[in-house]
Amino acid sequence: MARFIFITGGVVSSLGKGLASAALGALLQARGYSVRLRKLDPYLNVDPGTMSPFEHGEVFVTDDGAETDLDLGHYERFTGVAARKTDSVSSGRIYSNVLEKERRGDYLGKTIQVIPHVTNEIKDFISIGEDEVDFMLCEIGGTVGDIEGLPFFEAIRQFSQDKPRGQCVFMHLTLLPYIKASGELKTKPTQHSVKELRSIGIAPDILVCRSEGPIPQKEREKLALFCNVRPDSVIAAQDLKSIYEAPLAYHREGLDQAVLDAFNIAPAPRPNLDRWEDVADRIYNPEGEVKVAIVGKYTQLEDAYKSIAEALTHGGMANRVKVNVEWVDAEIFDTQDPAPFLEGYHAILVPGGFGERGTEGKIKAAEFARTRNVPYLGICLGMQMAVIEAARNVAGVKDAGSEEFDHEAGKKRFEPVVYHLKEWVQGNHTVARKVDDDKGGTMRLGSYTAVLSPESKVAEVYGDTQIEERHRHRYEVDLKYRDKLETCGLAFSGMSPDGRLPEIVEWKDHPWFIGVQFHPELKSKPFAPHPLFDSFVRAAKDTSRLV
Ligand code: GLN
């Protein structure tokens, strides 16, 4: 049976709870344990799939087709364990399950209440697959004291009582603000946060304290005394230059040792941190730099393209270069020449996205990359933009566009080179969709196979002709235009196994121009950079040598 680690946060949000959880997962793996990480989010959306990236950052998609919190991306990148549908849940999902059961009559006439019905539903979720791993790490979203988080805190409190003594450990992440005027790190907000946690019955075993600098012994002792934890369980989490140093930094601070001590595991197996030392070496000792433009819509919020930024970093690590990412708002050159905005970059990436805003700019970015021989990676919408650009400017389909934009505008303005998918094959059945279906969870989601043409660039990049990648889209390039586009040099080099859905396009006579209908960024890891990002950054490196 797994041991459980519950990770909660206090004082303020955005302290890096997800990262701390992911790094701890990596450290437990380094000591030979198997782990699984889970996120429990108190918000009421059933999942983040329908939330704007401005609200919630990127939506991370799992192999089994769940649209989840971006923290699951951190978990996967640090542990390499593929997340599943059952690793992410929200209040919305919990309540909807409970209400569904109530309608079915499963509660046999009982009055349905937060305790025990909602808390039981949460506890059932936490224990899914508990026999599969040594450690289950469950992060509770938000901060202690949030009204909507209460059922989750109550559930984990009960859970630790249901389990044998010593089976559950609570780790609380807080902030130690530094007051310049007095030159002090302040412990009071942490004391209050722990008090809040204890008032609902949870006594943290480990305190992880975010601070700008080291925690002096005096403050450490004060925290231990007032928060009722052991001094060596007060762990400093100092700001780092790279998130990939986090496992090493937390290890230096003694986090993994403190966790094993809290479980009374002695002697603790020795950790093997070679993987993370190599990762840190590659991050901190690059041999060159490249500049990549991400031309998108949500450029004010980096979290919107979190996995892409990380995958580019991984590509840089594979090539021993630092990738300087610059976010370029596509809307700026919707109606003007993109050259002044795009010149000087060694590669251009157009990411996924939804809706028409900024798409003319993205189409121009694809044209710029094609005609100037700049490496281009188009992801999902970025592939669709490249196809529309090719149709309009090379194949003579002057009004080429996507049905997505016509649906949004409520009128027909484009020839739909990209159309609304009505059906596709998943495993051994056909999935059907209508334009007016619900928006939540109805896209083509999760892992699907693509078959690559043997002579293509992508087959060379992957070193394979069959790949599995994660998808999240409603629209698709129309096969009707294949012949026309291929005659012009845009090869459809990756297709769904039934040959009906274009998965990859590439310009044959271009140094590096690839569009993919899926999201390769979701599977990249610092210790196993995704082949497309490895190759794309290598192409950027080659370009940087030319200029
Ligand atoms: N909006 C496009 C579609 O639904 C692209 C989606 C994406 O980029 N993830 O097909």
Positions in the chain short of pLDDT 70 = 299-300, 547
Instruction: Give the residue whose CA is nearest to atom 9 of ligand 1.
Output: 352
Does residue 138 sit in the same domain as residue 273? yes
CA angle centred on 446, ends 431 and 244, rounded to 5°: 175
Looking at residue 436, its pLDDT comes to 82
Within a domain: 257: yes
Q: Coil, helix or strand for 134?
A: coil
Within a domain: 365: yes
Q: Quote the ligand 1 centre to 265 CA distance (angstroms).
A: 48
Bridge-partner residues for 206, per DSSP? 171
Q: Quote the ligand 1 centre to 517 CA distance (angstroms).
A: 8
Does residue 266 sit in the same domain as residue 132? yes
Q: Which helix (H) or strand (E) holds 495?
A: strand 490-495
Within a domain: 254: yes
Q: Quote the ligand 1 centre to 22 CA distance (angstroms).
A: 28
Does residue 244 sit in the same domain as residue 109? yes
Does residue 274 sit in the same domain as residue 294? no
Left (φ > 0), alpha (ψ -120 to 50) or beta: where does 175 sit?
A: beta
Looking at residue 53, its pLDDT comes to 76
What pTM value is reported for the model? Answer: 0.94
Lookup: tokens for 310: 């990380």
Residue of 298, 472, 517 with the most ligand 1 atoms within 8 Å of its CB, for mutation: 472
**Domain closes at, from 279, 310, 329:** 279
**Domain closes at, from 279, 296, 325:** 279
Task: Tell me the CATH number at 356.
Answer: 3.40.50.880
Within a domain: 360: yes
Left (φ > 0), alpha (ψ -120 to 50) or beta: where does 203 sit?
A: beta
Does residue 272 sit in the same domain as residue 324? no
The question of whether 380 is a catalytic residue gets the answer yes
Q: Which atom of ligand 1 is nearest to the CA of 355?
A: 1
CA angle centred on 253, ends 252 and 258, rounded to 5°: 115
Name the residue with tokens 């980096």.
Answer: 302
Within a domain: 461: no
Q: Which atom of ligand 1 is nearest to the CA of 418?
A: 10
Within a domain: 460: no
Does residue 260 sit in the same domain as residue 328? no
Q: Which atom of ligand 1 is nearest to the CA of 474?
A: 4
Q: Which helix (H) or strand (E) holds 226?
A: helix 217-227
Does residue 274 sit in the same domain as residue 385? no
Q: What is the DSSP letter of 489?
A: T
Task: Tell me the CATH number at 95.
Answer: 3.40.50.300
| Residues near ligand 1 (Cβ within 6 A) | 352-354, 380-381, 404, 472-475
How many domains would you assign to the chain?
A: 2
CA neighbor of 127 nearest in space, from 142, 138, 114: 138
Structural contact between residues 464 and 443, judged by C-beta atoms closer than 8 angstroms = no
Q: Quote the ligand 1 centre to 352 CA distance (angstroms).
A: 6
The question of whether 521 is a catalytic residue gets the answer yes
Burial of 535 (0-12, 13-18, 19+ CB in 10 A): buried
Does residue 25 sit in the same domain as residue 132? yes
Q: How many CA atoms lie within 13 A of 324 on its CB side?
A: 8
Q: Which atom of ligand 1 is nearest to the CA of 379?
A: 8
Instruction: Give the residue whose CA is nearest to atom 7 of ligand 1.
Output: 352
Structural contact between residues 347 and 393, judged by C-beta atoms closer than 8 angstroms = no
Q: Quote the ligand 1 centre to 2 CA distance (angstroms).
A: 38
Could you give the CA distance from residue 256 to residue 270 in angstroms, rounded to a whole number? Answer: 11
Instruction: Give the residue whose CA is nearest to atom 5 of ligand 1.
Output: 381
Lookup: tokens for 350: 């157009």
Q: Quote the ligand 1 centre to 404 CA distance (angstroms).
A: 9
**Domain closes at, from 227, 254, 279:** 279
CA dihedral for 400, 402, 408, 411, sign (positive or negative): positive
* Residue in 367, 404, 503, 521 annotated catalytic: 521
Structural contact between residues 471 and 444, judged by C-beta atoms closer than 8 angstroms = yes
Does residue 181 sit in the same domain as residue 269? yes
Does residue 78 sit in the same domain as residue 166? yes
* Residue in 346, 510, 519, 530 annotated catalytic: 519
Phi, psi of 172 (to 5 degrees): -120, 130
Structural contact between residues 59 and 88, judged by C-beta atoms closer than 8 angstroms = no
Looking at residue 212, its pLDDT comes to 87
* Residue in 168, 209, 227, 380 annotated catalytic: 380
Close Cβ partners of 312 (under 8 Å, ≥ 6 residues apart): 292, 323, 325, 349, 533, 536, 537
Q: Within 35-145, where are the H helices?
A: 53-56, 71-79, 91-104, 119-126
Does residue 228 sit in the same domain as residue 271? yes
The question of whether 519 is a catalytic residue gets the answer yes
Burial of 546 (0-12, 13-18, 19+ CB in 10 A): exposed
Close Cβ partners of 51 (under 8 Å, ≥ 6 residues apart): 45, 59
Q: Which atom of ligand 1 is nearest to the CA of 472?
A: 9
Within a domain: 169: yes
Q: Quote the ligand 1 centre to 348 CA distance (angstroms).
A: 18
pLDDT digits (tens, 9 = 90+) for 72-103: 999 999 999 999 999 999 999 999 999 999 99
User: Can you spell out the DSSP letters for 147-190?
Assistant: GGGHHHHHHHHHHHHHSPTTSEEEEEEEE--EETTTTEE--HHH
Bridge-partner residues for 291, per DSSP? 324
Does residue 266 sit in the same domain as residue 330? no
Q: Quote the ligand 1 centre to 472 CA distance (angstroms).
A: 7
pLDDT digits (tens, 9 = 90+) for 114-151: 999 999 999 999 999 999 999 999 999 999 999 999 99
Within a domain: 449: no
Instruction: Give the residue whose CA is nearest to atom 1 of ligand 1.
Output: 354
Q: Coil, helix or strand for 250?
A: helix
Q: Quote the ligand 1 centre to 58 CA distance (angstroms).
A: 13
Amino acid at 431: V
Looking at residue 439, its pLDDT comes to 80
Q: Quote the ligand 1 centre to 105 CA distance (angstroms).
A: 39
In Å, the largest CA–CA distance within the chain is 74
Residue of 475, 503, 517, 519 with the most ligand 1 atoms within 8 Å of its CB, for mutation: 475
Range of the domain at 379: 287-419+476-546
